[in-house]
Structure 1
């Protein structure tokens, strides 16, 4: 599947159930994954499993990533605003898709893309339900805590600003077991060939990402989020305080489901937590669409 955002072509995979309703139209879900990821990783897994549960589910590569990376264009940029625009374009594509009921479209985001999905769907009249699984949502206070306080954040911001002014793009390895300069050093899933380290994974990170990533307040997107929202998380996963703060902002518009002892990367591909999360997400969508 192909669709456009700001004149660039994005590539996606649309997963459909084998059995169709009598009307022929299906509830649609736009699915997004963790930072630096591609559609063949966790977003594709969740989309394919949602199709087994009766949904038309789209996983796609953001501009500059995977099959949506084009020569001469910006690549491997973890820019929340840019990715938010891509999600809006994906939602518009789903609304035009002949397999999808345009009045039954929802969004599902994992990990870092949760804030992007929330920003793209808040106030969007084409989206009627939202689910966030293992959402990584931060605000300025959390950024400071995670990235080494004022000094650590300032150093990364300088690195990002220097990269923006550099004549050539400056990339580092996204994940590695041996390269200590990698964005995610010795991190599971991304460095394991039987999990996230697949041929389609770009495994690169544009240093110019730091400014937009560190200054993006994913928690505050809850203030404009008017869709009924399910949040699935675990205290053992990444930044649970962000999910709690997001839910607090949403009040009774949000439902939270907490798993015990499930890590961030377990949510990406481990059968039991993935199935449990998907069952809850499917039930949430069917009850709110």
Structure 2
């Protein structure tokens, strides 16, 4: 593995993005019997020529108008087309029975990402030889799974990735007893709010910040729902332990102040390919979702990685 760590100062100096106007187009595609709704992001007035493209996915429970849209716009400003979408059962792709909506299923979401790659490769505005994947937070593992062995994809980038294994799951969710309790809860079913302000009872994420702020993540498009049926699939999903499957050059942007940075170190310790790691100082998980300075630095690193020609180190 070749790992290059950028300092915070270097990252600030590296910021070269120019402000660009973005136009969007709503598109739909099919996967496993579900109709998924997505958005293609292009430079305003684009002439229709094929562009290098980034498929962007976001944190758990989220919809495409949240951090995926933020990074899609950043990619367009750096010369790429971008594509975001709502996973099946979420947002505008919610054409499933109510009792099976809002399930955080690594298997289903990975399949949806693969289908998104297949779909964008058919679009005339997309250069099918220059398609990349960008996963943020929980979808980082799904993106790795969707990119691994996928000949359509050149490179992968991860921002603030949540890469867990059994040790991390136990540490976050109350040890083996806590994990089993959540799995049992999930088998009983039921849908609860995904987020609410600090102190709110009966929600998945009871804290202030991104998901509680209507100017940030608490937007009208956000379902703000969690189906307990997703607990078992989520808690037994261990992407940090499976880096060997990834056969594409990798760039990661994270911070010791963000969520589970130890998962990144575990993943990289077993990754045998080319990797760029940028660890920013004092950047929280939510900062990576919306704070302009931190988003810019992350997007610069990811875009530089994606610009590299196939076979070229980052």
Which TM-score applies when normalising by structure 1? 0.94
The equivalent residue for 1:167 is none
Listed as ranges, the matches of 1:93-172 within 5 Å are: 93-163=119-189, 170-172=190-192
The equivalent residue for 1:59 is 84
> What is the CA distance between 1:52 and its match in structure 2?
1.5
- The superposition leaves residues 38-83 of structure 1 with CA deviations (integer Å, 9 ceiling, x where unpaired) of 0000001101121121111001000000000015262101000000
Counterpart-to-counterpart distance in 2, 1:64 and 1:77:
7
Partner of residue 182 from structure 1, selected from 184, 187, 203: 203
Bigger shift: residues 213-222 or 126-135: 213-222
Asked if the contact 1:104/1:128 (under 8 Å) is kept, the reply is: yes
The equivalent residue for 2:67 is 42
Partner of residue 260 from structure 2, selected from 213, 220, 239: 239
> What is the CA distance between 1:19 and its match in structure 2?
6.4
Pair 1:263 & 2:284 matched: yes
Counterpart-to-counterpart distance in 2, 1:49 and 1:9:
27
Corresponding residue SS for 2:117: helix
Pair 1:214 & 2:235 matched: yes
Corresponding residue SS for 2:103: coil
Counterpart-to-counterpart distance in 1, 2:160 and 2:96:
33
Partner of residue 284 from structure 1, selected from 305, 311, 314: 305
Gaps of 5+ in 2: 1-26
Number of aligned pairs? Answer: 282
Counterpart-to-counterpart distance in 2, 1:69 and 1:19:
31
Gaps of 5+ in 1: 164-169
- The superposition leaves residues 17-56 of structure 1 with CA deviations (integer Å, 9 ceiling, x where unpaired) of 23658x9210011100000000000001101121121111
Pair 1:250 & 2:271 matched: yes
Which TM-score applies when normalising by structure 2? 0.87
Corresponding residue SS for 2:270: helix
Inter-CA distance 237–47: structure 2 relative to 1 (3 Å threshold): same
The equivalent residue for 1:197 is 218
Q: What value does the CA root-mean-square deviation take over the aligned residues?
A: 1.4
